[in-house]
Structure 1
Amino acid sequence: MRLLLLISISLFCQFALFAQRTRQSTEQDLPLYRALSTFRQGRIEEGCQLLERVSFQEPNLSLQNQDLEIQEFRYAKIVCQLLKADKNGEIDALQFLAETNVQSWKDRIRFYLGNFYFIQQNWAAALDQYKLLSVANLTNAEIAKMQFNQGYSYFVLKQYEFAKPLLNSIRQLPGTAYQTAATYYYGLILFGEGKMNEAISCFQQVEKDSNFGKLSVYYISQIMMARGEAEQVISYLEKNASLFQDSSYPSTERNQVLGHAYFVTANFEKALPLLSFYLSAASETTRVDLYELAFSQFKMRKYAEAVMNFKKLSGAQDTIAAYSLFYLGESYVELKNKREARSAYSLCMQTAVKKDLQAAAQLNFSKLSYELGYFDEAVRELELYIRNNPASSSLLEAQEVLFASLAASSNYKRALQVLEQIQIPSTQTQQFIPSVRFGRAVELFYDGDLIEAKKLLLRIINDKWAVSIQGITNFWLGEVCYLQKDYTAAILYYNKYLSLGGVVSGEASPIHAYYNLGYAYLNLTQYKLALSNFEKVKYGNQAGNTSLELDARLRAADCQLLLRQYKNAKQLYQGFVDMDAPAAPYAFFQIASIEGIDNVNDKIRLLKELIVRYPQSPYVLKSKMSLADAYMEGEKFRDALPVLEDLLQNASAAEQPDLLFKTAVVYYNLDENEKALSYYQRLFEQYPNSAEAADALEELKAVYVDLGRATEYTTYLKKRGISVSVNLEDSLQYLVAEQQFDAKDYTRAIPSLQQYLNQFPQGKYFPDAQFRLATCYYLRKEWEQAIVPLEELLNANQSKYQFEANFILARIYYFELKKFDKAAYWYEQLIPLTVKTEDRLEIFRALLRANYQQKNWATASQFGDSLVLLKEKSKEDQALGALAKAKQCFVDNKETEGQQLLNTIPLLNKAALAAEARYELALSHFRLQQWKLAEKMAFETINKSGSYEWWVTKSYLLLGDIYLSQKDYFNARATFQSVYENANDPVLRKEALEKIELVKKSEKGN
């Protein structure tokens, strides 16, 4: 203030001296003097008017005159021109500055020229003039004006470091015209620097000003908003609402701040119109503004509008885009457009950086994938979600959706594993549980794990949500118990199934229940009940000729035979013979047996007819055996001889001891003792340890006696190593081991049996000891040790244990050691030794599977065909046989025939074989380059065989191959990458990694 006062005094003195010097001249030129005098007195506007008159009255006044009065006149005129914003004034001012030497005039001309440029918004030119002048020749008011203009010009030019001190200086001068404006602009600079407390103080000083009040209120609200004082912002702006009634700045911007405040306080109803108005009126808006509008629309249930705005924001790779994608998905859900919602969540998962948002999108994506039938994708994402978010509040929901997705994709095994993790299942999940357990139980049944299948089925029986499947659950319990040979329990469950209505579902049907009940009662020798159930096996009112019905009628005949209802039995058997059914040879044999009850000659006649009528039947051998017995029974020994000789040539090794014994007996009864002796000797020499050899000792003695060569009897026995009186030590040693074995003391029995075998290599009980030693090892599950005595026993080929030992050895190799080549060998040795149908069933099943495991498709197919001929075959047997045939077809390049076989398998099997068949069908279409069909079948494997991870993963790899073959490198790489990241099997993961590299090479090649 003191500086400005001194400057004013200095200026006054200068003007006074100047006036004294020119007094004489002014008196001579009164009009000019009067004008200049007025001008000097600071009455600029009046002085300019007088100067204009002087110019008008004296148009020839020469400005070239160097007289001081004339130069002063020139100076004053330029000032007036600049004040009037006359363009000529700028030119004259610049010329005057170049010509005059009077510093005071120069300074003041620069002041007015700077003001002129300031008005013209030529900020840089104004600043240039202000910089060149000295404030010593300006008044305080003029200095204040200049400093404000300088500050404002720097402000406009964004040179805030220069503007700030100037504006700060002016705002502190009370009473100046520029104090309010300087305070406002100084506040703006502070605002820009983030010094909110100082800035708001400035704005509050001018918030009542008519010019800057509206702007200050706006910026005050922004500062309050930046502090998080949303409620105060709302109150403040609503209180000052009258300031923003027009459309001038910042009325539109005020709507943004107020809308944002309402948005922050979750008052979306009030936020929506404000934000909507702002975005429609503002020339430039931000992504945040659009997001707040879209979110407010979402909250106010204006979902279609929200979708439009969220979509505009979704293309970037930032947090706003991620949240926009999430709520885009939410909006689509509300609009019932689940497919678009799922896509939005998928993109959100890829865009989101925040773990919580990514997890929420992943969960929603998974739920929609489940609802839309993309079960494999739902499973994959939910498994990841649960693994990565173990403490999530949505964990239970995720587990339950995963459970449902696994159930829907038939992955019952994994579904039950997930169920164990669900602590308190919801009612909806509880309703799913019985069907999942049932599905898994059926899979386990087909996979041969009857114990676990039964456990699951029993849990269903006691489940209150299982009312709709109680019937078929009882049916399958019956199936399990039947295969476990628990026929009493099987009968209970089959009857329970029938009492519950006998609902037909897949293999479960009353027909099958009656059929199996018949067999169960038959196995329990309850023939009347078996008969009544077999008689109910028919698909219509009249019995038909399906394989099931025919077998049931055949068993009914067997029951009547066992009940001694011979007439009825014969009538049923005759029906099979008359229709020439596959079972006709068996029926004919049974008729012969019935006839032989009363008349052995009729039996002989019929058996001879059977041999001629059915020469290729497996019952020919049995008929010949029975025919020989009939001849012997009728004492027609001569007739029995050719039959026995034929059998000795063709029968199995197991039958040889009995045939040799019977042939010897026949010759003895024909008084041909030498021949009888030769057959007895063959029996002793070839099968010394057989039961027949032991029985023949007395018979042999009788032959020698009849021949008069009794002494040769003992000689022969000694020659064969047979003691007439059994060696006492041999018997005692074996007796000790046998007692330990019978007491199940296998730990002590094993060394005792080994000691006997070492001490008596030719002992009477040597085969018995070998068999019991093997049995000890077998029961102790010491498989490798068990096979040694078994193979020794079988290689000797002279044991009464040949059949049992062979069976045990084959089972060890097949079930326990998984040596399928050896298992196949020993099972094949059993074929000629086998009489019982149930044994043949196991043998053919094992041979089918053992050859299948070795990829001997042709051989497996042959045993599959043999298995199909047995009435006790299962659908799994048929399915595996068809699968083996299909694979042989593919080897023979018969793709179409192979595909037809594969299509039958899912109808027969719902478990692993169905999964493999679906995959093989997809692979076949792939080989034929039928891409669409291959892709369809691969997805069918994934969606319908979820419990079988190997085939599901193989199907994903095949999908990648399909995409790669079509040069769809993006999907091929994504599929292989997914397998590599998610597969559990290291072999398949390695394969996926190799295929990823193959894709990269293929891409480079193109």
Structure 2
Amino acid sequence: VLLILSFIYFPASAQKSVYYDPPQETYRQAMESFRQQNYGAAAPLFERYMAENDNPHDAFYENAAYYYTVSNVALGNKNALQQVEHFVTDYPESAWLPKVYFELGKLYFKSRKYTETLEAFSKTSPEKLTREQQPEYYYKKGYSELSLNEFDEAAASFSQILDSKSSYGPAANFYYGHIQYQKGNYDEALMSFKTIENNKKFNKYVPYYILHIYFERGNYQQVIAEGSSYLQKADRKIKGEVNRLIANAYYELGDYENALSYFEDYERMGAKNLGSDEHYRIGYTKFRNKQYNAAITNFQKASETQSDNTQNAWYNLGFCYLYTHQKKFAQNAFLNAYREETDPEITADALYNYVKLTIELGGDMYNDPVTIVKEYIETNNGSEKISNAYELLGQLYLASNNYEAALASLEQSGQMNPELQAIYQEIAFTSAVSEFNKGNYEQAMTNFDKATKFSADPEVKLNALFWKAEGLYRNKDYEEALKLYKAFISTPGSSGSEFYAAALYNLAYTYFNQKNYWQAITYFKKFLQTNSTERELVSDATLRLADSYFILKKFDEASALYDRVIQNNAKDADYALYQRAFCYGAKGNFNSKISSLTTLSQRYKKSYLYDDALYEIASTYVIQNDPRHAIIYFDKLVKEKPQSNLAKKSLLKLGFIYYNNNQNEKAISTLKQVVDKYPASTEAREALSTLQSIYMDKGAIDEYFAYANKLDFVQVSTGEQDSLVFTTGENQYINGNCREAVPKLENYLQQFPQGGFVLKTFYYLSDCYEKMGDEEKALKYNLEIIGFPDNPYTAGALLKAARIEYDREEFDPAKKHYQHLADIAEDKGMLVEALDGSMRCSYYTADYRNAIAYAQLLIESGTADDNQRVYARYISAKSYQSMGNTDKATEAFEQVEQGSADEMGAEAKYELCLSAFRKGQTDQSEALIYELSENYSDYPYWVAKGFILLADIYVQRGNTFQAEQTLQSIIDNFEGDDLRQVAQEKLNQLKSQN
């Protein structure tokens, strides 16, 4: 039966007689093993049969070769592929070829050679395969096509066995469902997935697809219901994705509270490589649950990639920053949301929030909000939001520090309604005051005029009037200043102005400077009647009122006012004591005069009037014919203030007193001190004249000549010629004719190098050369004056020489001369300049200790103005910094920042930011950086340095997103290449680490 079946089953090419022989028995055994699927036994038997049968063209031989090949395939032998290929080559016309190609395809499939699999399958067809082989054929063909992304072909192959009961049916349904899912054919996909949802092999994964389909169809409740059940049995790898689907279903239903817990589970299970949309959904869910800090990270990620939600991500990120008190970040986020321009409503609202924050924060370091709003107006003209935009524009103009650009924009806008007119006035006024405080009076005057152009804001117009008068006053245009001050105080409502008292004060001062003392008295009185709380102004006005009475010889009124300043222990009380003494003296009350001066000398030993007081006390005692007390005070002055210009006068007067009281030896000794200490001075010549009289009285004129001839500056025999030659040059100088005076004066020096007028000649020449612009020779003669012992010209020569040397950056000699001047200066202004110059030169020559010392003297002088005191503290800070004393430097920088609104203040603020950062006080440093940005926006270099430091703070905190945003902002907007390069290097380093 078996043999008959064999003849029926296998194709034959010839008929043989039936008889028993060994090859046929081998063949029979092999077939029996093959049918029993015992391929391990069948393969060697088929191989033996072919070895025993020497006719390869025999039908049984061909059959044996086929079954041998199939057995090797079934056994997975290494040579199976080779066997199949040999069969195809050996029997190209065989009826077994369709099945052989099927087997060949299977081998390629097993090796994942899907292209070769499909090529082999293409040479057979399902009709030529057994019913059992057909499902395998369609499955492996479909899988190969799927692997090669031939989705339509794969779907067609899988569809042939969707209803198959074979083992390939479930897998075919799974892959078919997957393809239809990917193509969006959810009905087809769901039908296949439903077929196998309970299949043990696929029930862990199929529900996930089904949930996806429900979600895509919008069946969110079904996703939630079935997804919650599926979570209990889902594989851990899939649980995270199921949580994501359920979370998104709740999200779509607007149930953000329930969505949050599933999103959190999803993140806890290691959600990775989320897309921007997913980050946005998670961020928005956290946002709706008021988890603003947590939402920030997701919105940041969502904003990094361009998508439909990019604008929303920036917009909501702005609110997250706002609600977590990070207004600078919020400002930037709203600006980015505005720039996306996806949704017009969000664009308009983002712009509104950006502008509001910009105003609140005092501006935007790297963007011009005015330009941004104007661009919005231009591109959205006709929009219902335009009126809001104009309102924002007005608010920005009001808050902007870029006054000139703001004024120009308003002037060009054509939108000058009353509201904008008022804004225009206030901007013009604020700009004018800013320029005024910088000393740019011309620009200030222009803008004060603009502030008075409209009357929409009467108060601003009134204040502009005052400040314009102030500018004219400082430029010494007193006539015009008077007109405007009067216009100001006569304007209705001016008495309620904060500048009313100042206007009266300045008006009084203007009259005072014009020597119109009665009018000055009138307005000083009116100022004092305002009960101003400015103590220094009140004190000064009282003094000037007293001075006006004094000049008008109303000594009682003057004395009473001086006394008021003295009783209040006000600033310049020393001056009041001094002037009150002269009031007493003018009325012949010398005892009261002496008492007032004595009080001054006892209370104010460091006063610039101290030596004057001593001199006047002594001189008053002379008037009272009290030589004993006169001697005491002249002597006190000489000993305590030897550098004073009054010292030589006091010494001379001591000599006179001794002479007049017949104390000739003391007189001679004292007068010779005058000659020795102050040669070539007027006092020296007076002393010589008196000495001549004394020696003549003694009958010892030869002693006088012997003494006088030893003096370099005295030429007794040629005195008349000396005087005549000098006088010719002096007359030209006095007439203002320096070009004629110089050669005559220099001729005098050649003829009389030791003449009696040498010192004065040096002074005249230094002054002429200064006027003629010959700096070198002016310096030469000033140095000649300085070479003499201190004299009336010393202070001026020191000041002029130091100025020239300072301008030439010859700081060592300049320092020497400024320091000498600081020791002898009696004039307040000169003393301040001497201290200031000593401080600067000490700093520039790295003499930091002296720089600090002179800075402190300048601060304590009581006569330095605010700017000078601030600069002194700045020099102290920089000096301490150079010395490595960071604590003292920080303390000084704090004082600089408090007193300066210019670049010194900006630098000081940055140094405070840096100091806090170095101490690990990053929160404080960050706050100071924002203050730097807000208060010193006119100084972008220091603000940019502050933001680079801020990026370092973000890096320390692990907030690389904001660090990169900050650095990129500097790169995009800062104009200086040096700091842009620093920012770029830091940004590159950050990106290389991510």
TM range (shorter): 0.5 to 0.7
Q: Counterparts of 1:438 and 1:783 in 2: how far apart (Å)?
A: 42
Matched residue type, 1:529: Q
8 Å CA contact retained: 1:511, 1:539: no
Letter in 2 for 1:590: Q
Residue 300 (structure 1) aligns with? none
Partner of 1:562: 551
C-alpha separation in 2, matches of 1:427 and 1:439: 21
Paired residues of 2:836 and 2:854 also in contact (CA < 8 A): no
Letter matched to residue 472 of structure 1: N
Out of 483, 500, 509, which is 1:510 matched to?
500
1:631 corresponds to 2:617 = no
Where does residue 476 of structure 1 map in the other structure? 467
Q: What does residue 656 of structure 1 align with?
A: 647
- Aligned 1:213-252 pairs, distance under 5 A: none
User: Structure 2 residue aligned with 1:647, among 637, 653, 657?
Assistant: 637
Read off the aligned partner of 2:857 and give its amino acid letter. F
Determine the C-alpha separation between the residues in 2 that align with 1:401 and 1:892: 51
Aligned partner of 1:791 among 767, 783, 788? 783
How far is 1:938 from its partner?
Answer: 1.6
Query: How many Å apart are 1:661 and its aligned residue?
Result: 2.2
Maintained 8 Å contact 1:604/1:631: no
The structure 2 residue matched to 1:949, chosen from 940, 944, 962, is 940
What is the distance in 1 between the residues matched to 2:629 and 2:648? Answer: 20
Change (3 A) 1:562 1:934: same
Cross-structure match for 1:594: 583
Gaps of 5+ in 2: 1-93, 96-119, 129-149, 155-276, 278-297
Q: Distance in 1 between matches of 2:430 and 2:810?
A: 31
Supply the distance in 1 between the matched residues of 2:688 and 2:930 (Cα, whole angstroms).
71
TM-score, normalisation: structure 2: 0.55
Closer, same or farther in 2 for the Cα pair 1:464/1:829, shift >3 Å? farther
**Change in 2 beyond 3 A, CA 1:629/1:683:** same
Q: Deviations over 1:197-228 (max 9, x none)?
A: xxxxxxxxxxxxxxxxxxxxxxxxxxxxxxxx
Alignment match, 2:796: 804
Q: 1:677 aligns with which of 668, 677, 680?
A: 668
- Is residue 498–residue 510 contact of structure 1 (8 Å, CA) maintained in 2? yes
Which entry has the higher C-alpha Rg, 1 or 2?
Answer: 1
User: 1:565, CA displacement in angstroms?
Assistant: 2.8
Paired with 1:650 and 1:546, the residues of 2 have a C-alpha distance of 33
Cα separation, 2, equivalents of 1:772 and 1:997: 66
Cα deviation code 1:337-379 (max 9, x no counterpart): 9999984762686x89xxxx9xxx9999889744531778856
Residue 404 of structure 2 corresponds to 416
How do 1:546-625 and structure 2 match up within 5 A? Answer: 546-578=535-567, 583-599=572-588, 601-603=590-592, 605-607=594-596, 609-610=598-599, 613-614=602-603, 616=605, 618=607, 619-625=609-615
Query: Could you tell me whether the CA contact under 8 Å between 1:922 and 1:935 is conserved in 2?
Result: yes
What's 1:240 paired with? none
Match of 1:866 among 860, 865, 874: 860
Letter in 1 for 2:358: G
Match of 2:366 among 360, 377, 380: 380
Q: How far apart in 2 are the matches of 1:801 and 1:550? A: 33
Cα deviation, residue 562, structure 1:
3.0
Measured in 2, the distance between the counterparts of 1:988 and 1:734 equals 64
**Contact 1:460 / 1:466 at 8 angstroms: preserved in 2?**
no
Work out whether 1:935 is the aligned partner of 2:921.
Answer: no
By how many angstroms is 1:936 displaced?
2.6
Letter in 1 for 2:939: Y
Deviation at 1:946, TM superposition (A): 1.9
| Residue in structure 1 matched with residue 489 of structure 2 by the alignment | 498
Partner SS for 2:503: helix
Distance 1:522 1:405 in 2: 43
8 Å Cα contact 2:798/2:817 also seen in 1 = yes
Given the superposition, is the C-alpha separation of residues 745 and 677 from structure 1 closer, same or farther in structure 2, using an over 3 Å criterion?
closer
Q: Distance in 2 between matches of 1:828 and 1:616?
A: 20
Report the CA distance shift for 1:585/1:723 in structure 2 as closer, same or farther (over 3 A).
Answer: same
The 5 Å alignment of 1:264-303 reads: none
Residue type at the aligned position of 1:808: K
For the 8 Å contact 1:734–1:769, the answer to whether it is kept is no
Amino acid at match of 2:366: R
State the shift of 1:776 in Å: 5.0
Amino acid at match of 1:557: A
Deviation at 1:668, TM superposition (A): 1.9
Query: Which amino acid letter does the alignment assign opposite residue 380 of structure 1?
Result: Y
Q: 1:489 to 1:694 in 2, by over 3 A?
A: farther
Whichever residue aligns with residue 635 of structure 1, its letter is N
- SS at structure 2 position matched to 1:689: coil
Shift of 1:623: 2.0
**Alignment partner, residue 762 of structure 1:** 754
Match of 1:959 in 2: 950
SS at match of 1:641: helix
Q: What residue identity is the alignment partner of 1:656?
A: A
Is the CA contact (8 Å cut-off) linking 2:331 and 2:354 kept in structure 1? no
- Secondary structure of 1:635's match? coil
CA–CA separation in structure 1 for the residues paired with 2:751 and 2:347: 75
Amino acid across the alignment from 1:685: D
Alignment of 1:703-722 (within 5 A): 703-711=694-702, 713=704, 716-720=707-711, 721-722=713-714
Q: Which amino acid aligns with 1:631?
A: Y
- Distance in 1 (CA, whole Å) between partners of 2:437 and 2:971 is 30
Q: CA separation of 1:817/1:696 partners in 2, compared to 1, >3 Å: closer, same or farther?
A: same
Shift in alpha-carbon separation, 1:895–1:503, aligned structure 2, 3 A: farther
State how far apart, in whole Å, the 2-side matches of 1:316 and 1:348 are. 13
| Deviation sequence 1:205-263 (CA, Å, 0-9, x none) | xxxxxxxxxxxxxxxxxxxxxxxxxxxxxxxxxxxxxxxxxxxxxxxxxxxxxxxxxxx
Q: Deviations along 1:452-496, whole A, 9 cap, x unmatched?
A: 545554565567778543333343344444444454444444444
- Inter-partner Cα distance in structure 2 for 1:751 and 1:1000: 75
The root-mean-square deviation of aligned C-alpha atoms, in Å, is 5.8
Q: Which amino acid aligns with 2:554?
A: Q
Aligned residues: 684
| CA contact 2:398–2:423 (8 Å) conserved in 1 | no
- 2:518 counterpart letter in structure 1: K
Change (3 A) 1:772 1:566: closer
CA distance in 1, matches of 2:777, 2:513: 35
Taking CA–CA contacts closer than 8 Å with sequence separation of 6 or more, which of the two structures ends up with the larger relative contact order? 1
Equivalent positions of 1:78-117 (< 5 A) are: none
Change in CA separation of 1:889 and 1:789 when aligned onto 2, cut-off 3 Å: closer
Does residue 1:667 correspond to 2:658, yes or no? yes
For residue 627 of structure 1, report the CA deviation from its aligned partner. Answer: 1.0
SS at match of 1:535: helix
Aligned sequence identity (%)? 23
Structure 1: which amino acid aligns with 2:786? L
Compute the displacement of 1:630 (Å): 0.7
**1:441–1:456 Cα contact (<8 Å) kept:** yes
SS of the equivalent of 1:511 reads helix
Equivalent position SS for 1:671 = coil
- CA 1:496–1:849 in structure 2 vs 1: closer, same or farther (change >3 Å)? farther
Q: CA contact under 8 A between 2:932 and 2:946: conserved in structure 1?
A: yes
- Note if contact 1:502-1:509 (Cα within 8 Å) is conserved in structure 2: no
Correspondence 1:762-841 to 2 at 5 A = 762-775=754-767, 778-779=770-771, 786-812=778-804, 816-817=807-808, 825-840=816-831
User: Conserved in 1, the CA contact under 8 Å of 2:578 and 2:597?
Assistant: no
Q: Distance in 2 between matches of 1:411 and 1:488?
A: 33
Letter of the 1:592 partner, please give it: A
Equivalence for 1:528: 518
Q: In structure 2, how many angstroms separate the alpha carbons of the residues matched to 1:653 and 1:971?
A: 64
Asked if 2 retains the 8 angstrom alpha-carbon contact of 1:941 and 1:955, the reply is: yes
